[in-house]
Amino acid sequence: MKLPVYLSSEDHSKLRLLLAAVMRGKRNVNVSRLLDELGRAIVLEPSAMPNRIVRLGSRVEIEDLDSGDIDAYTLCMPDRADAEQGQLSVLAPIGTALLGYGEGDVIEWETPGGLRRLRIRSVAQPALV
């Protein structure tokens, strides 16, 4: 059974617009998977979102449960993705996998390198400016 996915209404709207633009071209597996996640999401007002849920702009530390590797990323829109800076696109397989899950959750997600089992170790939200 899949864990629930929580999204703010703001992120949900941004991602729907992104998918509408992307789907005008060739639809790929990453787009389809994000569309599926949006379809099953529990949408909350931004003020009601728990701080430990991964959303756009969140800094996330994850552990690969098979290799023990620990990585940190900031989840972003595709135009801001930059692997060297740790900026992970929401359309990347792991980016889609993390979206809407919370600290402590374990996620199994198919990536180009095979099935990954990931634990979300920590989630930090960006400071409001």
Ordered by where they begin, the domains of the chain are 6-124 (3.10.50.30)
pLDDT score of 125? 93
Cα–Cα distance, 12 to 48 (Å, whole number): 14
Average pLDDT over all residues of the chain: 90
Cα–Cα distance, 54 to 122 (Å, whole number): 9
pTM across the whole model: 0.89
The length of the chain, given as a count of residues:
129
Cα–Cα distance, 129 to 126 (Å, whole number): 9
* 80: pLDDT strictly greater than 90: yes
